[in-house]
Structure 1
Amino acid sequence: MEIIIKLSQFLLSLSLLIILHELGHFIPAKLFKTRVEKFYLFFDVKYSLLKKKIGETEYGIGWLPLGGYVKISGMIDESMDKEQMALPPQPWEFRSKPAWQRLIIMLGGVTVNFILAFIIYIGMAFAYGDYYIKNDSLKDGIWVTNPVVEKAGIKTGDKIIAIDGEKIERFEPVVSMNILTAKEVLIERNGKEKTITLPVNFIGNFLDTDKKGVIVLRMPFVVGSFTDTSKNKEAVKPKDIIVSLNGVAVKYFDQAIAISEANKGKKINGIVLRDLKETPVTFEVDKEGKLGIYPGSLKEDNLEKLGYYKFSKESYSFLESIPIGIERGKDQLVGYGKQLKMIFNPSTGAYKGVGGFHAIYNVFPDSWSWEVFWNITALLSIMLGVMNLLPIPALDGGHVMFLLYEMVSGKKPSDKFLENAQMVGFVLLISLLLFANGNDIYKAIIGK
């Protein structure tokens, strides 16, 4: 059932993004009286799953879910229709239209992608508001869950004050992601501020580890379930909260880990909070320094009752949601631009994180959440827009590059040149596709 839910979200999001992107090309093409021969969701190599011709355009669904396309008459594209291009230009063809009209047609897809992302973020701000913890309320700092992050100089208990000079007002998941692309992180440790300069290959080292967490909230040790070999099944019950181990007060899960690792193979006294009452117990620590207990979780209201965190909720009117959503979209756009820049810089090692369709599929959760779905779709829309703007022949950005050259120089590149450029771009795209999906296969083989 989980696979069906993940796959449904993946296909729905991908289909929505492809159809709207292609509509961005289709609508201005029709407005400028340019003939559109095909409009396809997914690729129809050899045959189509569904197709119907309405007017001059064939609408259909292909069997290969690697994207979609509109075939515009008189345009050198992935179809490489040389026979049509060898005939004299016709008034309804793309090549017969003024450069400015062709530019608008080519920019239509990415424009829709960016507009869609901003609309989604505005809608999410209006529908869901914001639910967060004020950063200055984290009295005991954060929990560093990855050894690479700790080696870089950020430790459990530190308070994140600013990232690349931008003060952190709210502790949200985006804080963790921003650290991955940061150059400097300002922290507070034991009442003193300290600037941590992250190494150039920080993100590459991070991607080499099995533990993908960066920093998270420090949480109490709530008993969830037990390992098969655990000797503490009778000592504690699910939902118990461990508050003391070996005579040392334990407030957070990371503290319990340290104490149990220091008492390998021993029996230690402890205290758990059960139904809000302290209950003494005896724990057995195995030879690896583990209690054999999987941690559970507490709801936000229980965390507040126990004095761990204070959660803030903000709701916005529709008008208030507009600047909030625009700012959120801008932040995501800038953030993805930074990631892309790092990917093309081999010294950062960020290329190790490049993934294909399997990686995108895995981003979606195995339970349905419209809030999560729309958040992922908005980010994917930004990614699709940015990627399509890259000045690679065969992408929208490649066509735009040649059109801008034509508009500035007054000289139109020859059809032969455009055909060759299209072929080079196609080879580049196939190479990128193979690299990205090859990365997915490699990670699956090594178990990352």
Structure 2
Amino acid sequence: MTLTLQIIQFVVIISILVILHEFGHFLPARWFKTKVEKFYLFFDWKFSLFKKKIGETEYGIGWLPLGGYVKIAGMIDESMDTEQMQQEPQPWEFRSKPAWQRLIIMLGGVTVNFFLAWIIYSMLLFSNGDTYIPADSLKYGILVDSVGEQLGLRTGDKILAVDGKETKKFNDAVLQIILGDEVTVERDGQQLTVPLSDEGKATVFQQQGRNFLSYRSKPIIEVVADSSVAKDAGILPGDEITMVGNQKIEYWDQFREIIGTSKGEDINIKVLRDGRTENLSLRVPDEGMIGVQLDFKDLRVTDDYDFLASIPAGFNRTIKVLTDQVRQFKVIFNSKTGAYKQVKGPIGIVEMMSPTWDWDFFWNFLAMFSVWLAFVNLLPIPALDGGHVMFLLYEIVSGRPPSQKVLETGQIIGFVIIMGLMAVIFGNDIWNIVKRFIE
């Protein structure tokens, strides 16, 4: 059921993004009186699941869920309809329109993607505010595992800046550390600048970024699961664990470490409850989980936005997401980090979906993916929107369009590049699944 829900979320998100992206091409094309022959969600190679002609446009759903397209008359695109291009240009065709109109048509898709993300982020900030854990004011510093230590970080450090820039939010700081070159921390009362090694980042990507960097917290219980060891032992929400045996407990990671090394053993713990100390005992199960969740309320802050303030804040968040995605390419193309091995395709993205239907996750992921789609489509690769934009800019600057042969050759080269990348990404998804079974 979980996998089915994840697939449904992914398909719905992709469908929304593809339809709106292609509508971004469709609308200016019709505005400039350019004939649109097809408008398809997914690709209809050989056959389609559904199609209906309305006016001069055929609308349909293809069977191959790798995107979608609009087929604009008189344009060299993925359909490679060279027969049409050999006939005399007609006034309703793409090639007959001024270069500036064609440029607007080609930029329409990414423009819609950008504005969609901006609107979603603005509405989320207006309705929910922005709740986060500040990076520069963590009460108890950060918590790192052996991978984080390999990067040069230490438990208890306080993050001050990454690459010389202050980071407001802890989650942003984690991403900036992965993408950055150095991090400035406060350690034992001193300010230090720690270089971030490619080797350390490679280990982070091998572990897929799991738990290498978190934040220290007090061992205060917020939730106790039913039918759990903690429930049977008498632990209650609000309890603060102060001792295990004769060892004083100040932070949750200290308690978790003891639990991890005491599987199958009985331990005595002391908790602070309503100002009184209670003595409890429990047997640590073999899986090392006692069934509690922590209270992080003392670490979180919320910035609220009214409607007018949410608009520029949503724009800034969209720009930041776009900037981070551009910076990720620096890491991906650095062979020392091995980040290219963790690039996810459709299979990997499905696994990233929430196991339950979570509207906050849905809208945030939709906005993030919309920005990603805009960025990727603007890459100057023939067969992508950015490739068409590149040829159009050449025409505007030089005053003459590339020949039809150049456009056709570019389209073929771009198609081969994209198919090659997709094959690698799909292969990477499958290999990651195989590795999990092997391990």
* TM-score, normalization by structure 2: 0.90
Tell me the distance in 1 between the aligned counterparts of 2:387 and 2:276.
67
Query: For 1:253-310, what per-residue CA distance to the aligned partner results, in whole angstroms no more than 9, with x for missing partners?
Result: 2112444567799765432356875332456679xxx7833452145xxx55xxxx25
1:412 to 401, 404, 410: 401
Kindly tell me: are residues 90 and 136 of structure 1, through their superposed partners in 2, closer, same or farther at Cα, counting changes over 3 Å?
A: closer
Partner Cα separation in structure 1 for residue 358 and residue 267 of structure 2: 42
Residues 333 and 382, structure 1, Cα contact 8 Å, conserved in 2: yes
The CA deviation at 1:66 is: 0.9
Aligned residue pairs: how many? 434
Structure 1 equivalent of residue 389 of structure 2: 400
The answer on whether the counterparts of 1:158 and 1:188 sit within 8 Å (CA) in structure 2 is: yes
Q: Does residue 343 of the first structure (1) align with residue 341 of the second (2)?
A: no
Aligned CA distance change for structure 1 residues 76 and 142 (closer, same or farther; 3 Å): same
> In terms of mean alpha carbon deviation, does 336-345 or 255-264 score higher?
255-264
**Shift of residue 116 of structure 1?**
1.2
Establish whether residue 186 from structure 1 lines up as the match of residue 184 from structure 2: yes
Q: Does 1:133 align with 2:133?
A: yes
Q: Give the match's secondary structure for 1:292.
A: coil
Q: 5+ unaligned residues in a row in structure 2: which ranges?
A: none
AA aligned opposite 1:375: N
1:150 alignment partner AA: E
Equivalent runs, 1:18-417 vs 2, <5 Å: 18-144=18-144, 146-171=145-170, 173-209=171-207, 212-219=210-217, 220=219, 222=221, 235=233, 242-259=241-258, 269-273=268-272, 277-282=276-281, 292-299=288-295, 303-304=296-297, 309-417=298-406
Question: Structure 1: which amino acid aligns with 2:125?
Answer: A
Q: 1:136 Cα shift?
A: 4.6
Note the residue ranges of structure 1 that are not aligned, 5 or more in a row. Answer: none
Shift of 1:128: 0.9
Offset, 1:243: 2.5
Secondary structure at the counterpart of residue 74 of structure 1: coil
User: Are the counterparts in 2 of residues 221 and 295 from structure 1 also a CA contact under 8 Å?
Assistant: no
Take 2:125 and 2:4, find their aligned partners in 1: how far apart are those partners?
28
1:424 is the counterpart of 2:423: no
Amino acid at match of 1:75: M
2:277 counterpart letter in structure 1: E
d(CA) in 2 for partners of 1:293, 1:225 = 11
Alpha-carbon contact 1:394-1:426 (below 8 Å) kept: yes
1:365 offset after TM fit, Å? 0.6
- Segment drifting more, 210-219 vs 353-362: 210-219
Q: Residues 356 and 56 of structure 1: is their aligned pair in 2 closer, same or farther, counting only changes over 3 Å?
A: same
Q: 1:261–1:385: structure 2 CA closer, same or farther, 3 Å change rule?
A: closer
Query: Which AA in structure 1 matches 2:141?
Result: G
Structure 2: how far apart are the matches of 1:211 and 1:406?
Answer: 45
Q: Distance in 1 between matches of 2:371 and 2:59?
A: 26
Q: Percent identity?
A: 49
Q: Give the deviation of 1:319 after TM superposition.
A: 0.5
* Aligned-partner residue type, residue 288 of structure 2: G
2:284–2:290: 8 Å Cα contact kept in structure 1? no
Deviations 1:99-154 (A, max 9, x none): 1111111111111111111111111111111123344542211222x422221111
Q: Deviations over 1:41-80 (max 9, x none)?
A: 1111222222111111001111221100000011111111
* Residue aligned with 2:401, SS: coil
In 2, the alpha carbon distance for the partners of 1:246 and 1:291 equals 21
Partner of 1:446: 435
User: What secondary structure sits across from 1:297 in the alignment?
Assistant: strand
**Equivalent position amino acid for 1:153 in 2:** G
Indicate the SS of the match to 1:367: coil
In structure 1, what is the Cα distance between the partners aligned to 2:393 and 2:198?
Answer: 35
Separation in 1, partners of 2:166, 2:291? 32
Distance (whole Å) between structure 1 residues aligned to residue 227 and residue 185 of structure 2: 36
Aligned partners of 1:176 and 1:214 also within 8 Å? no
